[in-house]
Chain A
Amino acid sequence: MVFILGNNFLENRLLKHCLETFYGIGTKHSTRILAKFSVFPGARVGQLPTKTINDITAELSTMTIETDLRRKMRDNIQRLRDMGSYRGRRHAMGLPVRGQRTRSQILTARKLNRIDRAN
């Protein structure tokens, strides 16, 4: 069981896959992190030396991920709402923001558009 930034991962999992479980890291950022520390993409978490794990944890703590990212997104939408702008109002009502039709096809907007968005 290896700790990366507070989360525990089984030793036979791919490192790339473990990195992508963090909110804010996808394929692009995980590839860059692996390249920065010269880790080959098929590496399992248990195969890496402790120093590499510590370096990766340090790198992750400098990036905007997880709670920081969520807070940043919420602040952006809250700022629009506080100004009283059109976009803020649409987020608050759960309607499409970018000028789509509202007669039909608004299921995604109703599900996702809110002040504290998950994605």
Chain B
Amino acid sequence: MFPTRALLARSVWKGPNIVPLPIQRVAPGQKVPPIMTQARSATILPNFVGLVFQVHNGKNYVDVEITEDMVGHKLGEFSPTRKPFSYKQSKNK
């Protein structure tokens, strides 16, 4: 993920980055299956709230449940791409 690209915000006149995602409208009461996607740069729109996405991080798909706070952000911010750094001293002398 490129933090500077997220922070250098997209011009308002262009509108949000809308990506065609397969969102199903099911009858209320039925569960919606998680939506698998590789579109990490898709902006989260208000009609995504409550859905579960599986966002690709290069290797596998990470479950992301969308809440109301997340609306202006992109899907890729919630799916980390790198393992956190941990230093292990090797036992070889």
Contact = CB atoms under 8 A, between A and B. Distances in A.
Nearest to A82: B69
B69 A99 contact: no
A99 to B, nearest CB: 4
A84 to B, nearest CB: 5
Interface residues of B, number: 15
Interface of B: 1-4, 6-7, 64, 67, 69-70, 73, 77-78, 80, 84
Count chain B CB atoms within 10 A of each CB in A79, A83, A89, A93 and give the residue with the most: A83
Contacts of A89: 80
Contacts of B6: 86-87
A85 B73 contact: yes
A86 B6 CA distance: 10
A46 B72 CA distance: 50
Nearest to A89: B80
